[in-house]
Amino acid sequence: MTRAGAEGATHPATAVPPAQSGGPAAGPAAASAGSAPLLRFEGVAVALGGRPVLRGVDLEVAAGEVVGLLGPNGAGKTTLLRVATRVAHADAGRVLVGGRDVASISRAALAREVAVVPQDTQLPFPFRAAEVVLMGRAPHLGLLGFESEDDVERARAALARVGIAHLADRSLLALSGGERQLVTVARALAQDPRVLLLDEPTAFLDLRHRVEVLELLRALAAEGRGVLVVSHDLGLAARFCDRIALLAEGRIARVGPPSAVIDPAALRQVFGIDAQVVAGPDGTPIVLPRSASGC
216 and 177 part of one domain: no
Number of domains composing the chain: 2
- 261, 198: one domain: yes
Q: Does the pLDDT value for residue 7 go beyond 50?
A: no
- State the DSSP H helix or E strand holding residue 97, giving kind and residue range, or none if neither: strand 92-97
User: Cβ neighbours of residue 292 under 8 Å, at least 6 residues apart?
Assistant: 272, 273, 274
pLDDT in tens, 162-190: 999 999 999 999 999 899 999 999 999 99
How large is the average pLDDT for residues 4-25? 42
Question: Are 26 and 85 within one domain?
Answer: yes
Residues of the domain holding 168: 125-192
Last residue of a domain, one of 171, 192, 213: 192
pLDDT digit string, tens, across residues 243-254: 999 999 999 999
- Does some domain include residue 214? yes
DSSP assignment string, 27-69: SHHHHTTTSPPSEEEEEEEEEETTEEEEEEEEEEE-TTEEEEE
pLDDT per residue as tens digits for the range 108-150:
999 999 999 998 777 778 899 999 999 999 999 977 778 999 9
Please give the pLDDT value at position 125.
84
* Co-location of 206 and 83 in the same domain: yes
Q: Which of 169, 192, 215 is the last residue of a domain?
A: 192
